[in-house]
Amino acid sequence: MAVVSDLEGTLTTGATWRALGAEAEHHIGRVRYLGFVTKRLPAMGSVWAGRAAKRPFQDAWLQGLVTCFGGIEEAAFEALAERAVMAELWPKRREDVVAALRVHLAAGERLVLASGSLEPLVSAFARCLGEATGRPVEALGTPLEVAQGRLTGRLAGPVSAGQAKARRVHEFLGSERLSVAYGDSVDDVPLLLLSDAPVAVYPDDELRTMAQDLGWAVLDG
């Protein structure tokens, strides 16, 4: 049996955009990075004002961030992903969710982290979790396109969120039973519906309402 957990908002209150933003600023320079951010401020304002959907904006921001690293060696990006996780995502982990996952691991269940975050970051977080629990943790994130050992500045597929995340998990697990899934937002519903026992973790309003209506477990401290 397998257990799958989302990462951002579920296992950590840290944010990929913040962690990678600091690394992007260092990599391409402050002026170019500020230009990247400024160009996207109108769209950000529309999201905050409720005039535009959050998910497409997040996906576009992630794709834009990846362009900042075009040409970097894959090994160098993996190293900066490790730094980003240790600076932002791992220190802000939710200890109560880690404790819940630790129970699954102790029972011998397979644990997979599935996230829209870039795969090197998800893998780095999975390694941290594995070291903390003494059990292997697998990772599925948004894949990066690599050519001749260097990032091209493009994604190798769609952002692994919503239906795309659920599809990747289904393909990854094959016929293996998904016993429990953890997620924090309505975007995670396709993943949660794959499992025998969905758990809404610190859920947004839409997911909380759905969890209450369907009798799903809620973990929110």
pLDDT band per the 50, 70, 90 thresholds, residue 101: very high
Question: What's the pLDDT tens digit per position in 170-207?
Answer: 999 999 999 999 999 999 999 999 999 999 999 999 99
Do residues 186 and 165 make contact, with C-beta atoms less than 8 angstroms apart? no
pLDDT band per the 50, 70, 90 thresholds, residue 85: very high
At the fourth CATH level, the homologous superfamily of domain 2-219 is HAD superfamily/HAD-like (3.40.50.1000)
Q: Rounded to whole angstroms, what are the CA distances from 104 to 64, 110, 144, 195, 218?
A: 36, 8, 30, 14, 17
Neighbours of 128 (CB within 10 A): 18
Higher pLDDT pick, 82 / 57: 82
Domain ranges of the chain: 2-219
Question: What's the pLDDT tens digit per position in 134-177?
Answer: 999 999 999 999 999 999 999 999 999 999 999 999 999 999 99
| β-strand partners of 4 | 112, 181
pLDDT at 37: 82
Do residues 166 and 4 make contact, with C-beta atoms less than 8 angstroms apart? no
pLDDT band per the 50, 70, 90 thresholds, residue 102: very high
d(CA 11, CA 184): 9
Q: C-alpha angle with apex 214: 210 to 217, nearest 5 degrees? A: 85
pLDDT band per the 50, 70, 90 thresholds, residue 32: confident
Query: What percent of the chain stands above pLDDT 70?
Result: 100
